[in-house]
Chain A
Amino acid sequence: MAFPFVRLCPRHVSTGLQVCSYATLSKASRPQEKSSAGPVFQYVGQNKKPTPKVFVWGFSFTGALGIPSFVVPDSGRKKPRKYQLTPYRLETAEQISSAACGYGFSLIASSTKDASKLWGMGLNKDSQLGFQRTQHSRHQSYDYVLEPSPVALPLVNPLQTRVLQVACGRAHSLVLTDREGVFSMGNNSYGQCGRRIVEDELMHLLFFSQVACGQDHSLFLTETGKVLACGWGADGQTGLGHHNISSSPVEVGGDLSGVEVQQISTYGDCSLAVSRDGQLFGWGNSEYRQLASVTEATQINSPRHLPLKGCGKVVQAACGGTQVAVLNDKGEVFVWGYGILGKGPNLSESSTPEVIPSTLFGRSQFNPSVAVTRIRCGLSHFAAVTDRGELFVWGKNVRGCLGIGKRDDQYFPWRVTVPGQVVDVACGVDHMVAMAKSLL
């Protein structure tokens, strides 16, 4: 600390021994002068844009996290990291606009016009990440891809088409492009890839706005609001009125005929659709009371309108393995189904929507208007992104997929510490991928 000192003012030094001096304020108590010498550092300019980042966490031995040093450590002294319990930065070549997590694998896509716009990592035994040629043999594909590897899409104009969205199911994946329709890869033993059960064929389809993959079935949403489905139908999850498999996409009828759908969602054996005027339709598995508001049966094979009391206008829906969540226009989250629903350990099943109190998402006296903007479901957990860029997760912590730093299950929404503002998140069975941007 600076010591107080008395400065002798030179002007007043007169001849002789008399020195008139006066004490000035000591250095410690006077505010610093602005014109003191010293460099002024500039760390960022005025036009700095936030940097996009991707974070991954969860079970790493399948390679789904895309970080090879977790599975095969760089040096012999390090041990393989089986569970990544907190978000870990994944370095990507381009800005990732869409990501999807399947059962042990992930796909990340960028909306660039460059040649490589789609990367896959994780399990590839059913070629769900396309053909990944091995170093040793031209005809063999890698079973496990440990690092984001480009997926070659047979595009007509590879330098003009952009990838809009990706979706992953149990052993198949769908890629939606802006000009060339949907591409599907992976296991087609139940027709979920939408092509007739013939190997090595990729088919163009109509103009689509969204694709969603269930466990062994696929749903396609066209720009006009029609839903098409194909794949395994034993639980009626295709919604085509029968319980057989469907090998090519067929339009779904039932209560959805004539309705303009804006969003579809599925991950297990139950499927949901949200119409443009805020109504919710569901079909498929109802063993866990997901569709109990309309039926006591365990399966519905044709879409039925779900009358939800007290939910208001539904804006987004997310479907997991045994549980369902919807988001209304006010930013409130409603959950029902079976499992850890997010209202404490006592509520383990519900057939009617239960609202999750907004105080758990950060609403307080200082911030009375925090609302959830995105809701996603993994197989047995939920994720919600608020308008302030915070990510909340809850549910069963399968192999560390929640990213909260511990392996315990989480019974109510818990913040995930992500260094940045979260834009979107993709949930899988035992891992998650989050797209974020830096604060500044």
Chain B
Amino acid sequence: MATPAVRMFRRLEGLFCVYKPSGVHWKLVRDSIETNLLKVLNATPSQPLPQEVRFLAQPSTETEAPKGLTLSATSVPVLSKHPLVSGPEFQNIQVGVGHRLDAFSSGVLVLGVGNGNKTLNDLYRTRVTRDYTLEGEFGTATDDFTHTGGVVERSTYEHITQDKLERVLAMLEGANQKALLMYSNVDMRSQEAYEMAVQGLLGPEGKSAPILTGLRCIHFQPPNFILEVQCLNETQKYLRKVVHEIGLELRSTAVCKGIRRTRDGLFTLQDALTRHHWTAADITQAIRQYHSSKKHRKHSLSWDNLNYILLSTDSALIQSS
């Protein structure tokens, strides 16, 4: 029979996303969420102790007839099942992390609880794109491509105009589009390759080098600029390197001041829980939302078609921004 704690755990199984602040290791986030959930799970009122019938020897109060034990049946609680003996019901729960975010970046971090971890594995095996907002600043180059690193070189940036930046971004995008075609395993001489290229479905399956499927500048005020990036198989260090390389292409230098993930697959900033909402109640609600949206999606497609959804949500996001 499932205890109330187990029933509550069943409600908690699934995927949800949190907003990871910058300066914090992702493991701390995962650990604090696990602690919060455990606290609530173990605080559920435990079931009353089961009773069992034991034949206990009654101590005879009279001094006569010392021989011959008289056993009487008594119902005693099973002490081995007492929480103080067996310990809390949940010692640890499996909280898994999706695509990791390093300490410098912030944004959407997908977590899965219990059975949701299996879904996490499947999700990251299909081709999932992520959206980032990169803030950069011209004029400096550092050793770890961030504004807090050791300065390697400083250079002028007065010659940079938005038009030149757009040209460099167009060149980078062209190179990445070509990389998308090169890493796909389809034979380029087949009709299937042409059909997929027209629909934009050609891409790497599984592991590959990081590829930026979309890149554009949304704010330009020298020395600061903000880029919106859509990428596959990336790491945040690679994105900082991209900012550095944009600076080099413009015959100047650039550092990355901040990376913010705005979307990871189908989880967006709107669904992300901020620090004050890392409680079991909010997480349960987020997971319920995820399950209901999954039901809507399951009606019309399978995991293979997830790419269509991702591409169309990308376009919807860009049109709405």
Contacts and interface: CB of A to CB of B under 8 A. Distances in A.
Interface string A23-38: 0000011111000101
Interface string B222-249: 0000000010000000000000000001
B159 A417 contact: no
B156 A41 contact: yes
Interface stretch (A147-155, A161-169, A318-326, A363-371): A363-371
A365 B155 contact: no
Contacts of B230: 366
A345 B319 CA distance: 35
Interface stretch (B70-78, B109-117, B185-193, B266-274): B185-193
Nearest to A421: B167
Contacts of B142: 32
B173 A367 contact: yes
Given A367-B173, A415-B174, A440-B164, A38 B151 contact: yes
B251 A40 contact: no
A39 B154 contact: yes
A20 interface: no
B19 to A, nearest CB: 21
Contact of B147 (A31, A346, A360): A31
Contacts of B200: 359, 364
Interface in A2-16: 2
B148 interface: yes
B159 A344 contact: no
A2 B177 CA distance: 38
Nearest to A409: B189
B148 A29 contact: yes
B262 interface: no
A75 interface: no
A28 B104 CA distance: 12
B245 to A, nearest CB: 13
Interface in B188-203: 188-191, 193-195, 197-200
A74 B156 CA distance: 41
Interface in A373-409: 388-390, 408-409
B178 interface: yes
Nearest to A343: B194
The A interface is mostly helix, strand or loop, or mixed, namely: loop
B264 interface: no
Contacts of A48: 159, 251
B167 A389 contact: yes
Given A390-B174, A439-B171, 19 more contacts: A40-B154, A42-B155, A46-B158, A343-B194, A344-B191, A344-B195, A357-B198, A364-B214, A365-B214, A365-B318, A366-B318, A390-B170, A408-B188, A409-B189, A411-B193, A412-B198, A439-B167, A440-B164, A440-B250
A189 B205 CA distance: 58
B251 A412 contact: no
Interface in B205-230: 213-216, 230
A331 to B, nearest CB: 15
A13 to B, nearest CB: 29
Nearest to A40: B154
A359 B198 contact: yes
A346 B191 contact: yes
B133 interface: no
B21 to A, nearest CB: 14
Interface in A134-172: none
A76 interface: no
29 contacts: A38-B154, A41-B154, A42-B155, A43-B156, A44-B159, A344-B194, A344-B195, A357-B198, A359-B200, A364-B177, A364-B214, A365-B214, A365-B318, A365-B319, A366-B230, A389-B167, A389-B170, A389-B171, A409-B189, A411-B189, A412-B194, A412-B198, A414-B178, A415-B178, A417-B178, A439-B171, A439-B249, A440-B164, A440-B251
A366 B191 contact: no
Nearest to A365: B315
Interface string A100-142: 0000000000000000000000000000000000000000000
B153 interface: yes
B175 interface: yes
A310 interface: no
A97 interface: no
A258 interface: no
A409 B189 CA distance: 8
Contacts of A46: 158-159
A362 interface: yes
A21 to B, nearest CB: 24
Contact of B170 (A2, A42, A388, A417): A388
A388 B177 CA distance: 14
Interface string A396-440: 000000000000111110110100010000000000000000011
A343 B140 CA distance: 47
Question: Chain A CB within 10 Å — which of B150, B181, B194 has the most?
Answer: B194
B177 A43 contact: no
A344 B186 CA distance: 13
Contacts of B319: 365
Contacts of B173: 362, 366-367
B314 interface: yes
Contacts of A41: 153-156
A415 B197 CA distance: 12
B252 interface: yes
A409 B190 CA distance: 11
A146 B194 CA distance: 39
B168 interface: yes
A355 to B, nearest CB: 11
B178 to A, nearest CB: 5
Nearest to A439: B167
Question: Chain B CB within 10 Å — which of A343, A346, A365, A410 has the most?
Answer: A365
B174 A388 contact: yes
Contacts of B213: 364
Contacts of A32: 140, 142, 147-148, 151
A41 B315 CA distance: 41
Contacts of B251: 43-44, 48, 440
B189 A345 contact: yes
A42 B178 contact: no
B168 A439 contact: yes
Interface string A241-270: 000000000000000000000000000000
B188 A411 contact: yes
Contacts of B194: 343-345, 411-412
Contacts of B250: 440
B281 to A, nearest CB: 34
A75 B173 CA distance: 39
Nearest to A363: B200
B105 to A, nearest CB: 15
